[in-house]
């Protein structure tokens, strides 16, 4: 059982799917996922939000939500996002990662999987 009074090493953790399928299937890498990851990581550093007790930005392989891609997921809330451009990433950074407010318009619909 997890003690809810124990603080997490990171307040929030965002994982970006950067998977590229070699067989021609659609994947997040084909939708500029690397550029979105880079933008998010840079903004978190610029805003002084990186480091222990704050926000961690990580690369991930396939997160198995390809039909909603490109996708990223924020923990501990477990919120899945579909994004299009740097403006969407900026909104996720400012609203969710910085202020804890979920960006409803970017939430990946529950039914979208692979």
Query: According to the per-residue pLDDT averaged within each range, which of 23-27, 67-71, 103-107 is highest?
Result: 103-107
Give 32-90 pLDDT, tens digit per residue: 999 999 999 999 999 999 999 999 999 999 999 888 889 999 999 999 999 999 999 99
pLDDT at 112: 75
pTM: 0.89
- Residues ≥6 apart with Cβ < 8 Å to 55: 10, 11, 12, 13, 14, 44, 49, 97, 98
Q: Which of 13, 11, 27 is nearest to 73 (CA)?
A: 13
Give the CATH number of domain 12-106.
Answer: 3.40.30.10
Give 11-21 pLDDT, tens digit per residue: 999 999 999 88
pLDDT at 68: 82
Structural element, H or E, at residue 57: strand 55-60
Whether the per-residue pLDDT at 7 is higher than 80: the answer is no
Where residue 23 falls among pLDDT bands split at 50, 70, 90?
confident
């Amino acid at each position: 059982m997890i003690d809810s009074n124990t603080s997490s090493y990171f307040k929030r953790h965002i994982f970006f799917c950067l998977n590229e399928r070699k067989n021609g299937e659609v994947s997040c890498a084909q939708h500029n996922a690397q550029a979105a990851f880079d933008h998010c990581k840079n903004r978190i550093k610029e805003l002084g939000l990186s480091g222990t007790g704050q926000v961690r930005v990580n690369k991930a392989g396939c997160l198995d939500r390809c039909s909603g891609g490109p996708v990223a997921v924020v923990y501990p809330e477990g919120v899945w996002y579909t994004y299009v451009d740097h403006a969407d990433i900026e909104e996720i950074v400012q609203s969710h990662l910085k202020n804890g407010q979920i960006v409803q318009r970017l939430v990946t619909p529950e039914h979208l999987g692979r």
